[in-house]
Structures are given as structure tokens and as C-alpha cells.
Structure 1
Amino acid sequence: MGLLALLLLALAGWLIWTGRLQKMTAKDGLALGIALVGAVMAAKGKPLIGALPIIGSALFFALQNSKGKARREAVGRPPGDVGEARALLGLPADADAQAIRAAHRRLIATVHPDRGGTQALASKINAARDLLLDEANRAGDKRA
């Protein structure tokens, strides 16, 4: 169990060193702290008492990971309707093709994968632009 305590301390050090600790929520930090307390208790010769916080924290992080996967999959999904696409690009209902392209350029410049963004979010923004441009072209055909 002493080795487990050292591994958890090394994990905490790695989280601090890589900057991932700054991205953690308060609940994540609390669960990590509880796991560290459990590891210290186990290292001091109380493995049954120390195992409970470690198992609880492991379950918490397993649940968080499954929720995170569902969120990441939802981000990659293209917008379903015009309203969702407008909300994503931050456009009013009467935006024309030029405004759509300008909003797309402005947003994609901040979330492009080359700038540290994700491919899934860039794809969703591109799909929103395409959907809105198609809608604007159809609306333009009806007006003419």
C-alpha cells in the first residue's frame, strides 16, 4: 500500500506539472484529495479504512469519464436544425450569406485545431455554416 500512496502522490505532482490541475473542478480536486487520504491511511497500516476512500474516488472518476465521453460525442455531432446552427455561430435570424461567412471566419479562427481547438468542434462549426448558407441560398431563390 505504500507503493500506492507514492503512485497517487506522483499522479498529483504530474497533474500540477502539466497544468491539468488547473482544469480540474472542485469536485475532481476533492475526490483526488480523498484518494490521497485513503492512500496515506493504507500506507500507515490501515488498509481496510484506506481502501474505502480510494474505491470511492475511483468510482467517481469512472462516472466522470463516462459523462465526459457522452459530452465529447455530442460536440462532434453536426447541428440538427437552422436554429441550432444560428445559435452556434451567434447569428440573428435575418443574417445574410456575408454575415454567415464573417461569423464563421471569426469563430473558426479561435477554435481551429491548428490553434489548439478540436477537430470535432471545427467540423460542427463548418457544418453549421454550410447549413445556414444553404438555407440563405434557398431563401434568396424564393425571394427572386
Structure 2
Amino acid sequence: MARLILLILIAIGAWYLWQKIKSSSPQERRKQIFMACIAGVAAIVVVLAITGRLHWVGAALVLILPVLGRLLSQLSRYLPWLMPLFEKYSNRRPNPGATQHPPPHNTEGPPLSEHEARRILGVDADAGRDEIISAHRKLIQKLHPDRGGNDYLASRINAAKELLLSILG
């Protein structure tokens, strides 16, 4: 019952907020949407902290982030010599996205024949749909990249299954 009441209150609040944003001028609309998002995140963090799903230190850090943004802008106004140092530091740091994701490798390999696909999955020439799917499932559980296998083997197993199932129709 408490969840239903909370859900109704959230729906009423969202409707009221939507009406207020819809009736405002385009200049004010952006500011109101931003503030609504900040308030929504803060409310979610508070609820998670109260229910024990988020440690209170994490909640405090998330709620302090907007204050830190304002503090940084104030700091740049009162200490202008600090901004060139910050810009020099931020330009020197490597791009984190460039080092975390290596370029994808070509994992396709040469095209498979029906005989090779059957050898990969370890099924006979008269194997049915269920047997092919079962053999694929067993192999992919052992050789999936998330379980210590590699992309090439997983892609070959998937290609073998797709080929054999397409032949069966």
C-alpha cells in the first residue's frame, strides 16, 4: 500500500512538473529541466540511502557534486591564476576512452563449409535442430570470452551453428 501511495505521489509530481515546464518560456525550460533532473537524482540517491541499497557516504558524495561545480566556478573567479594550471593539467592527461577500448579484431575468419561446421560443433550429418543447439550451448559455455575463451573461437562456434541451422531451414 505504501508503494502505491508513493507511486501516485510521484505521478502527481511528474504531472505537475511537466505542466510547469510546458507553460514556461523556452529560456526557462532548459533551466527547469536541468533542475528537475538534479532533484530527481537527489531523490533517488536519498531513497537508496534510506533503504540501505547505497552507503551513506556514496549518497553524500553524489549530493555534494553540484556544490563542487559551483565551488570550482567561484574558485576560478577569485583565483584566476589557477585556471591555466588546471587547463594545462587536463590537456596533458591521456584520453581515457582511447586506451580502454582496443580496436575490434577481425574474428570472422574464412567462410565455413557444412562439413567444417559439423566438425566444430561435433555433430553428425543427420543431427537435428535440437542436437545442434545443444552442442552449440555446451561449447559456447566453455569457450565464451566471458569464461576465459576468446572472440575468434566464439565467433566460429556461432557461425557454425548459424550455418547448420540455416541449412536445416
Shared fold, TM over 0.5 = no
| Higher relative helix content | 1
- Identify the TM-score tier after normalising by the shorter chain: 0.3 to 0.5
Larger Rg: 2
**Larger RCO, structure (CA 8 Å, separation 6 or more):** 1
